[in-house]
Amino acid sequence: MAVVSSMNLTGLSTGGSSWEAGLVTKEDTVVDSIVDSIYGLLERPDSEAQ
């Protein structure tokens, strides 16, 4: 399962005053694609997540 969502860390979004977008999927090919994309971002030399 993959959950991909947005959340702006402001008082408006945490208080429920703004709209956010999200996706939930159990489709294996979509989950695999999301995981591959995230790993690809983390492997980039300019990534600060390493």
pTM above 0.95, yes or no: no
CB 18 within 8 A of CB 8: yes
pLDDT at residue 40 is higher than 80: yes
49: in domain? no
Amino acid at 19: W
25: in domain? yes
16: in domain? yes
> How many domains would you assign to the chain?
1
pLDDT one-digit tens code per residue, 13-36? 666 667 778 889 999 999 999 999
CB contact set of 4 (below 8 Å; sequence gap of 6+)? 22, 23, 34
7: in domain? yes
Distance CA 4, CA 8 (A): 14
